[in-house]
Amino acid sequence: MLITRKLSFMKTMCLASPLRSFHCPLLWHLGMGTIHFPTILFAYSFHSSTSTSTQTHKDASLRSKFYSASFRDIDDALASFNHIILMHPLPSIVQFGRFLPAVMRMKQYHTVLSFSKTIESLGISHNIYSLNFLINCFCRLNHMDFGFSIFGKILKFGLKPDTVTFNSLINGLCIEGEIKAAVEIFSDMVAGGYQPNVPYLQCDSCKPDAVRYTAIINALCKDKQVSESLELFSQMKNIAISPDVITYTRLIHGLCNLGKNQALSLLKKMVGHNISPDILTFNVLLDDLCKQGQLTEAQSLNKIMIQRGVEPDVFTYNSLMNGYCLHSQVDQALNLLNEMVERNVSPSVYTSSVLIDALFKEGMVPKVPSHCQGIKPNKVTYNSLMDGYCLHGQMNEARKVFVSMVSTGIVDVFSYNILIIGYCKDKRIDEALKLYDEMSQKGLVPDSVTYNTLIKGLWEARSPPDALEFFKNMCSHGQQPNIITFINFA
């Protein structure tokens, strides 16, 4: 919930005019250690004696060391910092910006925050680079709330966040397991024209692994950002993290959903890397091939799957049967039903719905296939049966199915429309009107299909006044007339 609020805040933050100085009061409330300076250094800084050439040389040496950011350890860095802040002129924020990363590389994140606090107290304004260091430190210390607060101030003071800003936030979210939120920022980042630096997934406190990468890849695929997923997939391999079967399956699914042709190629690469596809991998690809009408390839893939010892399940068969039915090959679908049963795979309600719908469309009035008997029908099954009977003018049979459907309590507007259309085509307009009244009594709201069907039925039954009355009802009940509505009056 906190992350959601922060993301919302990021997207809605209004930009204010830049101020002269950027202050981060957050640093003062974290209880971070303050840098303590030896008294002798302060005394030295206010000494009124004239600087000697030796002192000038010493100062130059100290500045050179500070600017080089080459320190033996944290104590050496601390001593250099304590000296430099007593010199005049003080280093600029840019020069401090070269110093802070050196301390960060020592993993002294609390110390970086303390240094930043001291820099502020000297009246030196932060820039986007130094603020990025703060965000990075907070994220690595699992203080995402403070990291987002710094981000909010970046926006408020009119500074422009850059790739480093976003990468730091994404990294912190990944550390905390907030994968969905990380992907949201990644998406906003890409949409805003920033180039993401994908190795943000690598961090000291959370070693990158296949699970972390797969979670991001999956989220990106769901967001239809397959190109970014493929880029992440490549970088994953470049840093010697091996994708697993889940990673490949998520990518294949993403490619299939966007109609990309690389899915089959990716499967071959997967096998080439000795990663065995599982039933889910095969099902994703089979379903896509069937939807594209590549039934020969789908059947070949099914055989390969079986040869590799992966047994097809109900989803496999449903995809294949649906593919055959969509391309008017009902006999092949029925053969698959028999094979399915022989392999002890139980048909589902979807299986029977697909077959019933296909048989009706092929001009046959089917009975429920014997292998599918005993399966409790759902709304799709009932609607398929009703639609089929109406298509063949068997309104009494359609009505029986409708009555059964009503008794189960799953009837909806779509179901009523099927029967109303059937009655109107069968010139039984009175029966259709009774159903319309029944809908209102049951609290169902007729839609444009309902009104258009009844208007057409009444017009063809030579009842123009009633048709016009329904047109008025349609408008008064918030249903907008469309081109079909006006064609009905032609």
> What's the rounded Cα separation, in Å, for the pair 378 and 412?
12
Q: Residue 422 is part of which domain span?
A: 409-490
454 domain residue, yes or no: yes
Three-state DSSP state, 359: helix
**Tally of domains within the chain:** 1
> What's the rounded Cα separation, in Å, for the pair 115 and 394?
84
473 domain residue, yes or no: yes
- The sign one gets for the Cα dihedral 295, 298, 300, 303 is negative
Instruction: Render 380-447 in DSSP notation, one character per residue.
Output: HHHHHHHHHHHHTT-HHHHHHHHHHHHHHT---HHHHHHHHHHHHHTT-HHHHHHHHHHHHHTT----
446 domain residue, yes or no: yes
User: Which residues is 203 bridged to in the sheet?
Assistant: 206
- Check: CB of residue 185 under 8 Å from CB of residue 223: no
Give, for all 490 residues of the chain, the pLDDT tens digit: 445 545 554 544 433 333 333 444 444 444 443 333 333 333 344 444 444 556 565 667 777 777 666 777 888 888 878 877 887 788 888 878 778 888 888 888 888 888 888 888 888 888 888 888 888 888 888 888 888 888 888 888 888 888 788 878 877 887 777 777 777 776 676 666 665 555 444 444 444 456 667 777 877 787 777 887 888 788 777 777 788 898 899 899 988 887 777 888 889 889 998 999 999 999 999 999 998 889 999 999 999 999 999 999 999 999 999 999 988 898 899 899 889 888 899 888 888 888 888 888 777 765 556 556 667 778 888 888 898 889 888 899 899 989 988 888 889 999 999 999 999 999 999 999 999 999 989 999 999 999 999 999 999 888 888 889 989 988 998 888 888 888 877 6
Q: What is the pTM of this model?
A: 0.56
CATH of the domain at 426: 1.25.40.10
319 domain residue, yes or no: no
pLDDT at 447: 93
> What's the token pair of residue 32?
């971070």
- Check: CB of residue 481 under 8 Å from CB of residue 471: yes
> What's the rounded Cα separation, in Å, for the pair 460 and 462?
5
> What's the rounded Cα separation, in Å, for the pair 84 and 18?
28
- According to DSSP, residue 87 is labeled S
Long-range pairs, 337-340, Cβ under 8 A, ≥24:
337/369, 337/371, 337/372, 338/371, 340/312, 340/314, 340/371
> What's the token pair of residue 56?
């000038």
pLDDT at 36: 39
**Residue 149 parent element (H or E):** helix 144-156
Q: Which residues contact 183 (CB under 8 A, 6 or more apart)?
A: 216, 219, 220, 223
> For tokens 């000291």, what's the residue?
204
391 domain residue, yes or no: no
Smallest Cα–Cα separation from 235: which of 219, 268, 212?
212
- Check: CB of residue 243 under 8 Å from CB of residue 233: yes
Instruction: Render 433-459 in DSSP notation, one character per residue.
Output: HHHHHHHHHTT----HHHHHHHHHHHH
pLDDT at 23: 42
13 domain residue, yes or no: no
Smallest Cα–Cα separation from 45: which of 57, 35, 37, 54?
37
**Residue 220 parent element (H or E):** helix 210-222
pLDDT at 144: 86
> What's the rounded Cα separation, in Å, for the pair 286 and 21?
61
